[in-house]
Amino acid sequence: MTMKIIRNEKEIQNKIKKVDGAMAQEGMPLTKELKNTLHDCYTGKSTFDTERKKMIDKYRKIYG
């Protein structure tokens, strides 16, 4: 999955707030680290696929 690169900081913050709001409704608000990761994806510094792989690798090490 690819994310559209966004150059407008206000639009980026708005999208992150929407994701955070949706997650908070489920009792899982975003941490500052996750918000920074989303910001990096939206600005093109990273990709969704790269960050997803990092998370999978991290939890495989923890839980096998």
Exposed / middle / buried, residue 36 (Cβ in 10 Å: 0-12, 13-18, 19+): middle
- Please report which confidence band the pLDDT of residue 5 belongs to, taking 50, 70 and 90 as the band edges: confident
Task: Specify the pLDDT at position 64.
Answer: 81
Express each pLDDT in 6-17 by its tens digit. Answer: 889 999 999 999
Express each pLDDT in 22-47 by its tens digit. Answer: 999 999 999 999 999 999 999 999 99
- Please report which confidence band the pLDDT of residue 1 belongs to, taking 50, 70 and 90 as the band edges: low
Q: Which segment of 4-8, 34-38, 46-50, 58-62 scores lowest on mean pLDDT?
A: 4-8
Domain residue spans in the chain?
A: 34-64
